[in-house]
Amino acid sequence: MTMSNIISIEKILHGDRRAVARAISAIENDNGEAKKILSSLYRHTGHAYRIGITGPPGAGKSTITNKLAKWYRRHNMRVGIIAVDPTSPFSGGALLGDRVRMTDVELDDGVFIRSMASRGSLGGLSKKTSEAADVLDASGVDIIILETVGVGQSELDIAGSADTTVVVLVPESGDGIQAMKAGLMEIADFFVLNKADRPGAEQAVVSMKMILGFRAHNETTWMPDVLKSVASEDKGIAEIGALIARHKTHLEQTGELAIRRTKRVRERIEEMIQEKLEVDFWNTARRKRLEDHLRSVLKFEETPYDAAKDLLGTFEPEVHRPPDDSQ
């Protein structure tokens, strides 16, 4: 690693905003130095608490993120925000740009905001989000808020990347019941019914709490609550912050926080291996062989299973073994 990169790492560790921004850009663009940067920073991570904010479009996730960041700043905590936006079909960059929607904290030196493109991720959560969060973690922030576009399976993505997952819903569209049907009950650590000054809010809260009450649980189980908020008026924000803190304490006391973080690291390692194997597998010769198999399969001269078996039989992944000191 060059001296300039060493200096860059030092700047990141001291919270230099420009160095942090450059590191995240390198990660987004798959820059050749990205892995070196992440490897150098990793031992400095683990301090920041990661909060996922997800839910359907228009529920007020950005407003809650904005107000929650402001609330943490009043408690002298540094905040990093990664807002995952839809990808522009032209530039490949983030389309919405959450800085526009976070005017309360955008000029605060204690808050770092970054919009990241989902880049075609089916869940709406960029694969690079966890790595970007590592950079923010190493830079010394106390809280990292991950906000998704709230489409597809982004809820599952965010649950795998956050310590506490908050699902934001609104009362008038029946989102509460639909959320339960979609399986959000399993991944939400608690729900926020935003825009609770609208008709139907009380009924939605009662319905959601009733459904949550059917979850299997015992005396040590964390039971998701349903909070009401009107984020645009700062109502309910302090309650959200307090419940996140209570959930964090529960995770620490039960050992669940370590379990969640171990699972997150395991999945990242598995994903890295899978990506490496896929890149190594699909070389030019093997893709040509696939085309030959396709013609045979479509003529019913062989089955897809035969084709896959043959292709796999030609694959010998390169394994770098350490030198044998006994020789």
In the chain, what are the domain boundaries? 45-254, 269-313
Considering the segment(s) 45-254 as one domain, its CATH architecture is: 3-Layer(aba) Sandwich (3.40)
- In this prediction, residues 102-130 reach a mean pLDDT of 71
Please report, rounded to a whole number, the percentage of residues in the chain having pLDDT higher than 70: 80
Q: How far is CA 112 from CA 26, 44, 109, 132, 144, in A?
A: 17, 18, 7, 12, 9
Give the pLDDT score at 160.
80
Maximum alpha-carbon separation in the chain: 78
Predicted confidence (pLDDT) per residue in 59-68, tens digit: 899 999 999 9
Give the pLDDT score at 98.
44
Residues 150 and 56: beta-carbon distance below 8 Å? yes
Residue 137: name the closest of 33, 17, 50 by CA. 50
Highest mean pLDDT among 73-87, 101-115, 190-204: 190-204
Give the pLDDT score at 143.
98
**Looking at 154-163, 191-200, 208-217, 247-256, which range is the least confident one?**
154-163
166: pLDDT strictly greater than 90: yes
Q: How confident is the model at residue 102 (pLDDT cuts 50, 70, 90)?
A: low
Q: How far apart are CA 246 and CA 228, in angstroms?
A: 17
Name the strand (E) or helix (H) holding 168. Answer: strand 164-169
Residues 136 and 10: beta-carbon distance below 8 Å? no
In 18-59 the beta strands, taken as DSSP E runs, fall at 49-54
Q: What pTM does this model have? A: 0.84
